[in-house]
Amino acid sequence: MKKLAIAFVYSASLNVLYYLVLPVVSGVLLTWLYVPDVVFAYDSVEYLQNEVVFGQINDSSFAWWQSLPLTLALGMLISLAFMSITQRFRQKRA
């Protein structure tokens, strides 16, 4: 039971890193390093004014909470496998 709790903590910390920390860090870096280009901006506006999309576009990036239980479970399985492999390796060395 103790290994399961440790695996959950590892998995939860990796999910926090993936879903919260990495987007914030990448957003800050993109904000600092962005250099606007006037010619490219004009070309993109011209494309948007001439092209019209009919229908519905589904964006699944807002459904991160749907994949959270799966990533927690997979992270726990990977953590448990890593812990059991390291435990067997330590037993063979001793």
Q: Residues, the chain, total?
A: 94
Question: What pTM does this model have?
Answer: 0.56
- The chain-wide mean pLDDT, for the chain, equals 80
Phi, psi of 87 (to 5 degrees): -65, -40
Instruction: Report how far apart the first and last C-alpha atoms of the chain are (Å, whole number).
Output: 25
Q: 71-77, long-range: CB within 8 Å, 24+ apart, which pairs?
A: 71/11, 71/15, 71/18, 72/8, 72/11, 72/12, 72/15, 73/11, 74/11, 75/7, 75/10, 75/11, 75/12, 75/14, 75/15, 76/4, 76/7, 76/8, 76/10, 76/11, 77/7
pLDDT at 50: 63
Cβ neighbours of residue 80 closer than 8 Å, sequence gap 6 or more: 3, 4, 7
Residue 45 pLDDT level (bands cut at 50, 70, 90): low
* Extents of the domains making up the chain: 2-47+64-93
Tens of pLDDT along 7-42? 888 888 888 888 889 889 999 999 999 887 777 777
